[in-house]
Chain A
Amino acid sequence: MKKFIIKRLLISVVLLFFVSLIIYTIMRLMPTSYVESQAMALATRPGSKSYQEWVDQLNAQYGLDTGIITGYFKWASKAIRLDFGDSWYFNQPVIRKFSNVIWYSFALGLASFIIEVIIAIPAGILAARKQYSLADYAITVIALIGISLPSFFFATILKYVFSIELGWVDLYGIVSRMHETYSQGGKVLDIIKHMILPTITLVVVSIGSLMRYTRANMLEVLSSDYIRTARAKGLPENRVVNHHAFRNTLIPIVTLLGGSLPGLFGGAMITETLFQIPGIGYTFYQCVTQGDIPFVMFYMVFMAVLILLGNLIADITYALVDPRVRVN
């Protein structure tokens, strides 16, 4: 087991090296308009150096004057020590900005993840138990609609109904205008209230795949031999489903859920941007549109790490929950 994990970790590090190299190469193609406008502003100061000198100095400062390979190793040697430089747009260290915004994303992701699991797994099992029933069709169609819904469209509908027509919640933001005047508990409630619509959006657009996955797995388990055996020896149907089938369905589901845990930190870019939740996704969107290379670079690598971590956790949980894998 230990050997397996170490081997996977080493592979992940190698993969991360190549992924970050590709990302760095693409980032170097990004417009450096920030540097140019900065140099322009600095050059207009009285008694300042010329524009070209400022451009050169800033490029050197940000490590943009070297070739891509050298630049990458310069960046990587700092990144290993968790020094990702300063965000140009927010004018503070990338790591500090990150630690300020990540918890909004995590709260949003966790809330929708929990709701998703609570709804999707029972629904998927129900659909599988009563295959071809009305409930099965309804759940399948709902799941497919959820998968097919563009998140921005669904979020817009939610905003239209609940913010504009009913006026229950604000259109944008994480706090209301009067936030500072509330008591401690009121502040928390205020933030929760602003999280409702984004959470619903995330749940609806992502619940479908888990539902279908649960249903497909449950169907497979229910058609296996040991379930037939269990039924043949006269066990009540409830016990067959809840005891024998459900446990075996859990194996792939827990693997999937374990693998999606790191994703909770990834932020939901579209949803956060639409509701202007100051999470990592919205911050990234702002940085991309402003050409903030250090932050964008950091986010991309962070996302790649999350994906790698997700795969790793999925593999490990698979080995943990299914003893058969461990033997092999």
Chain B
Amino acid sequence: MMENNNTQNEEMHLDDAARVKVLSPGMMVFKRFIRNKLAIAGIVIIAFMFFFSFVGGLLIPYSQSQVFYTTEEILKDYAGATKIDQYQIQTKDGVKLPSDIYSKTLIASSTGKFVFTSRDGLLLGLGNVGENTYLIFSLEETKKLLRKNAAYDAAVAAGENFFTEGDVTYLFQESSEPEPDVYIATEMGVAAMKSFTSYEQGGNFSYEFYRGSLVAIANGEKSFEEDGVTYTVDGDVISKDGSEYALVSDVNFNPAVSGVYLSPAYKDAALTAVEEGKKSFTFPDADGTEVEYIIENKNGQYTFRKYQVTRVIDSYAYPSKEHWVGTDANGMDLLARLMYGGRISLLIGFVVIFIEVFIGMIIGGVAGFFGGWVDNILMRVVDVVYCIPTMPLYLILGSIMDYYQAEPTVRIYMLCIIMAVIGWVGIARIVRGQILSLRELEFMVAAEATGISTYRRIFKHLIPNVVPQLIVFASMGLGDVILAEATLSFLGLGIKYPAASWGSIINAVNDSYVMSRYLFVWLPAGLFILLTVLAFNFIGDGLRDAFDPKMKR
């Protein structure tokens, strides 16, 4: 009540109703409540949380389970290069050489026994043109005296083991006898430790070109002619009509990904870098931008790696313009998840408290009002439920739901029901206690005396007197429910992916790396839980003081 000390008005009488301004009890509670700074702070926080979760969730362009991707530069293999230590054999058109020709060639070249028999009995020979370059012949034994043979002498002088006389090519091999063995040789192919790259993408070479260029390189000739075309040899590069035609190298290049064309210029640049012992080199790509290639050497195998743009899930992205709070392990926007998680936390809190109050009020009310054996039985039920350890029970039920692989939405409903079914006992006790003491008061005796129905006595006279206590208990209980839900979700037994909850967001700290490196993942969610629960407690505290001014002296 407040004195109205406005004396400027006309004189007042003692029985003037306007003299004393009477406030309704509700108004008084309200006035006391809004004078409590902490309670107002609580109201502001809760209002913010509601706005943040329910309106924010509508405003934010992302959904709670939208996965974001990012492009990242990852060092990837681009090409590999191996020094050729096997003979590369090119065959004449239409000629098929036995499969063991590679090994036989290798043995023959290292032992100097250039005549050998292949696995399927073919007599073959190698004509040495130069270092590691051989012509492959199929042989036929023949008797031919080589003395005074000019072509033979010229071949011996050139260090070769074959010569041509007329249309026939002869191959000779030193043997134990004074005279060398002589064979009539038919050319089958050419073997060398060289690889050819065309300057044109997809370009192929003819056998004659291979043969001609290999012979020319082996003999150190500057040019050669095949099929009426003159090719010039300049180091590793063979030109045709003045333009570059082929690159010859003793290194085998392979792209790491099939379908990539490695140009001779690229190979040239790579080889130069390797020879100079560099760690990396640059080479322009198709658009002309210089790309850096990193050279890695493993037992003579060279790998050229470059940074390639790859699409990956944007996990643990730091806060940025697109993601104000960053992203989580699954590349989901944390701000969106905080908003949707807030919805679930607040919703569960209110639903659970609503059910709890409903059950608690009925059972507590009935027990308190009727007393006697009804009270006795109902209170024993309350005692039994009170004795069940809640958190362990939630864990067990959570793992049961895990086992039956309940849907995320089903889990939310189940969680609400379970928590309410366990939590109503506190409210029942309060209601019963209140009603027991109220029942004895004069106004209830008067209500009974006027003969109004039991129903009206309970719901019109008793319950309104219990409501203040209930509101206080409910607002504090809301905080507890939100805490319990967060704890369960944190342990992974409450709200499950892809549905979000503040507790399950913090769950990421189970990985120590995330805990130490990505503070932005777990800190906001934790603060939100703390603030929300704190706000409900502030409000509950303020309400209690407002309803019960005795505590305030």
Contacts and interface: CB of A to CB of B under 8 A. Distances in A.
SS class, residues of chain A in contact with chain B: helix
A152 B403 contact: no
Contact of A288 (B388, B399, B537): B399
B487 A152 contact: yes
A15 B384 contact: yes
Contact of B553 (A145, A223, A288): A223
B396 A304 contact: no
Contacts of B490: 150, 152
Interface centre among A14, A18, A145, A152 (most CB of B within 10 A): A152
Interface string A4-19: 0000000100111011
A141 to B, nearest CB: 7
Contacts of A269: 391-392, 395
A296 interface: yes
A264 interface: no
A156 B516 contact: no
A27 interface: yes
A322 to B, nearest CB: 19
Interface string A291-310: 10000100110011001100
Contacts of B534: 144-145, 148
A150 to B, nearest CB: 5
B392 A151 contact: no
A98 B396 CA distance: 19
Interface residues of B, number: 43
B533 interface: yes
Contact of B389 (A15, A152, A159, A303): A303
B176 to A, nearest CB: 66
A304 B400 contact: no
B83 to A, nearest CB: 48
B395 A285 contact: yes
Given A141-B38, A160-B515, A19 B526 contact: no
Contact of A33 (B395, B396, B403, B538): B403
Contacts of A19: 384, 387-388
A156 B509 contact: yes
Interface centre among B392, B516, B533 (most CB of A within 10 A): B392
Interface string B499-515: 00001001001001001
Interface string A240-272: 000000000000000000000000001001100
A216 B551 contact: yes
Nearest to B507: A152
A7 to B, nearest CB: 13
Given A31-B403, A144-B541, A270 B487 contact: yes
A303 B490 CA distance: 22
Interface string B520-538: 0010001001100110011
Given A23-B388, A147-B537, A157 B526 contact: yes
Nearest to A144: B537
Interface in B363-405: 380, 383-384, 386-389, 391-393, 395-397, 399-400, 403-404
A196 interface: no
Contacts of B380: 14-15
Given A148-B533, A150-B487, A22 B509 contact: no
B125 interface: no
A149 B490 CA distance: 14
Contacts of A27: 396
Contacts of B541: 140, 144
B483 interface: yes
Contacts of B400: 29-31
A15 B383 contact: yes
Contact of B506 (A22, A153, A300): A153
A171 B384 contact: no
A147 B538 CA distance: 11
Contacts of B479: 147-148
A284 B394 CA distance: 13
Interface string A209-221: 0000000100110
Interface string A276-291: 0000000011001101
A33 B506 CA distance: 29
B138 to A, nearest CB: 61
B537 A307 contact: no
B519 interface: yes
Contacts of A33: 403
B393 A30 contact: no
B238 interface: no
Contacts of A14: 380
B407 to A, nearest CB: 17
A269 B550 CA distance: 39
Contacts of A157: 526
Interface in B225-248: none
B435 interface: no
A149 B530 CA distance: 5
B506 A156 contact: yes
Contacts of A219: 551, 553
B486 interface: yes
Given A148-B530, A223-B553, A159 B515 contact: yes
Contacts of A114: none
Contact of B399 (A30, A145, A308): A30
A307 B395 contact: no
A33 B403 CA distance: 9
A160 B506 contact: no
Contacts of A52: none
Given A19-B388, A22-B384, A219-B551, A150 B399 contact: no
A239 B387 CA distance: 41
A150 B529 contact: yes
Interface in A145-191: 145, 147-153, 156-157, 159-160, 164, 171
A75 B389 CA distance: 19
B414 to A, nearest CB: 13
Contacts of A141: 38
A40 B404 CA distance: 20
Contacts of A26: 393, 396-397
A273 B491 CA distance: 9
Nearest to B398: A288
Contact of B395 (A147, A156, A288, A308): A288
Interface centre among A11, A137, A291 (most CB of B within 10 A): A291
Interface centre among A144, A160, A308 (most CB of B within 10 A): A144
A27 B530 CA distance: 33
Nearest to B551: A219
A308 B553 CA distance: 36
Contacts of A300: 388-389, 392-393, 396
B132 to A, nearest CB: 59
Contacts of A270: 391, 487, 491
Nearest to B531: A148
A215 B490 CA distance: 33
A304 B387 contact: yes
A145 B506 CA distance: 19
A100 interface: no
Task: For the complex of A and B, list the 4 residue pairs with the smallest distance between their C-beta atoms, beginning with the closest.
Answer: A31-B403, A153-B526, A303-B389, A148-B533
Given A291-B403, A307-B386, 13 more contacts: A15-B383, A19-B387, A31-B400, A150-B486, A151-B487, A152-B487, A153-B506, A153-B529, A156-B515, A216-B551, A269-B391, A269-B395, A304-B389
Interface of B: 38, 380, 383-384, 386-389, 391-393, 395-397, 399-400, 403-404, 479, 483, 486-487, 490-491, 503, 506, 509, 512, 515-516, 519, 522, 526, 529-530, 533-534, 537-538, 541, 550-551, 553
5 contacts: A23-B388, A147-B479, A149-B530, A152-B506, A153-B530
